[in-house]
Amino acid sequence: MADEPKAPQSPESPKPDSAGATSAPPAAPASAEAAPSPAVKPAAPARPAPPPPKPPVLMQIPLDNDLTKRYREQFGAAILDAVEDRKQPYLVIAAAQLAEIAQYSRDVEKFDLLEDYTAVDWPRREKRFDLIAILYSFPHNMRLRLKIPLADGETAASLVEIWPTANWLEREIFDMFGISFNGHPDMKRILLPEEWQGHPLRKDYDILQQDTAWVRENLGIESGQ
């Protein structure tokens, strides 16, 4: 079973081999999934991965439960995709409808807690950022993730009116990724100094990079010390 996917990657370094060998029994599909990836950086993992040849368990499966049906009824084309990854549902939605969908989620579907709000950077994609809103419903004891693809330079609607906790969360997204939110009362950096140039969590910001001008001016040292 493990032989078939091994063949195309035999010229590869022995590491994937040992990974497959040691973790064979419970993680056979894992190694099968992992096999092609060292060779090429995934271009679009937001889409559910194509089903591997013989896996007993799928990581991501398309989602079509009552909740998804209700959202699709309400918003139609704005719901771009619905997936369940490792038993956690998420909906991919269009950025234009973010405010309405958020309002609907809070008021009708009773997702009263915005547990987390963050972003992921996929630089090779056309819509490079993925805004991730993790919602939790106290009455239903259920979580839902909303993924909103955004292009570089595109702004999103602010969720502060709907969930006031989004205030600092959106400021942090702005600080780290450079995504601006319309309607935010206080759109400025939160963790980094206000004059800092650059948005560190973008993939093109190297880990050793710093705003050397700011560091030199304010700390009086050469960056990198």
Partner 1 sequence: MHPNLHALLVFLQTWWVELVSAVVIVAVVPLITGYLVLMERKLMADMQARLGPMRVGPHGLLQPIADAVKLLIKEDIIPDNADKFVFWLAPVVSMTAALTSMGAIAFGPSFEVARDINVGLLFVIGVSSLGLFGIVLGGWASNSHYSIMGALRSTAQLVSYETAAGLALVSGLLLAGTLKIRAIVEAQQHFGVWFVFLAPVAFFIYVVASIAETNRAPFDLPEAESELVAGYMTEYSGFRWACYFLGEYANMIVVGAVATTLFLGGWLRPFPNVHWMNWLDALPALFTAAVGAYCVYRAGKQPARVQTWFMWGVALACFAVALILAVPLVVAPLKFMVPGLHGAFWFLLKISAYIYLFMWLRFTLPRYRFDQLMHLGWYILIPLAIMNVLGVGVAMILEMEYGWNRWLALVVTTAFTLAAALFLLRLNDKRVAAASSAAPPEAPSTEDSYAG
Partner 2 sequence: MQDDAAQKQTLLGADELVLNMGPQHPSTHGVLRVKLKLDGERVRGTECVIGYLHRGVEKIAENRTYQQFAPYVDRMDYVAAVSNGLGYCEAVEKLLNVEAPPRAKVIRTIMTELQRIASHLIWLGTHALDIGALTPLFYCLREREEILKIFEKYCGARLTTHAFRIGGLQYEAYDSFEKDVERFCKDFERRIQEYVDLLTGNSIWIGRTRNVGVLNAEDCIALGASGPVLRASGVKWDLRKAQPYAAYDQYTFEIPVGTNGDTYDRYMVRMEEMRQSRLICLQAIENIPAGPILGKVGKVLKPPAGEIYHSIEAPKGILGYYIVSDGTTQPYRVRIRPPSFINLQALDKMARGHLVADVVAIIGTLDIVLGEVDR
The angle subtended at Cα 168 by Cα 165 and Cα 171, nearest 5°, is 135
* Candidate residues 23, 65, 182, 212; the one interacting with partner 2 per rule CB under 8 A: 23
Using the rule CB under 8 A, is 191 a contact of partner 1? no
Measure the CA–CA gap between 49 and 120, rounded to whole angstroms. Answer: 18
Measure the CA–CA gap between 124 and 41, rounded to whole angstroms. Answer: 10
| CB atoms closer than 10 angstroms to residue 56 | 7
Helix or strand holding residue 84 (H, E): strand 79-85
Tell me the closest approach of the beta carbon of residue 113 to partner 1, in angstroms. Answer: 15
Q: What does residue 106 show for φ and ψ, rounded to 5 degrees?
A: -75, -45
Beta-ladder partners of 132: 118, 147
Q: State which of positions 162-221 bind partner 2 (CB under 8 A).
A: 163-165, 167-169, 176, 189-193, 200-201, 205, 207
Using the rule CB under 8 A, is 160 a contact of partner 1? yes
Using the rule CB under 8 A, is 214 a contact of partner 1? no
Closer to partner 1 at the Cβ: 106 or 147? Answer: 106
The closest of 58, 159, 50, 141 to 102, measured between CA atoms, is: 159
Size of site (CB under 8 A) for partner 1: 8
Measure the CA–CA gap between 203 and 118, rounded to whole angstroms. Answer: 15
- Residues binding partner 1 (CB under 8 A): 160, 164, 167-168, 171, 185-186, 190
Q: What residues line the site for partner 2 (CB under 8 A)?
A: 15-16, 18-19, 22-23, 25-27, 29-31, 33-34, 37-38, 41-42, 45, 49, 57, 59-60, 85-86, 88, 90, 112-116, 118, 120-121, 132, 134, 138, 141, 143, 145, 163-165, 167-169, 176, 189-193, 200-201, 205, 207
